[in-house]
Amino acid sequence: MPKEILLSIFWDEECTSMSYYEMDEVEIEEMAENYEYTGQLLMFSYFPINIFKEWLWDVFAKQPHHIVIDQIIF
């Protein structure tokens, strides 16, 4: 399980509005639990990007246009 995931969030199609977001281990576990993700939690590659988009929608109450995974820290 990753200890931290660093994301770049682009809010519009032109990529003129962006934010950085750091997810810690607790948030990653909570995201998996809240969205009933039953895939492999030990390997990041099994997290579908749509789960991140749903999580960010709930956190910011705003739909991200594009997400970039900047860094995964184990």
Reply yes or no on whether the pLDDT at 43 is more than 60.
no
Q: How far apart are CA 69 and CA 65, in angstroms?
A: 14
Count how many domains the chain has. Answer: 1
- What is the radius of gyration, based on Cα positions, of the chain? 12
10-34 residue pLDDT tens:
999 888 899 999 999 999 888 888 8
Q: What is the mean pLDDT of the chain?
A: 85
Contacts made by residues 31-37, CB under 8 angstroms, sequence distance 24+: 31/55, 34/58
Domain that includes residue 61, residue range: 4-73
Q: Are 3 and 71 in contact (CB under 8 A)?
A: no
Residue 29: predicted pLDDT: 85
For strands 66-73 and 18-24, give the pairing. unpaired
Q: How far apart are CA 29 and CA 14, in angstroms?
A: 32
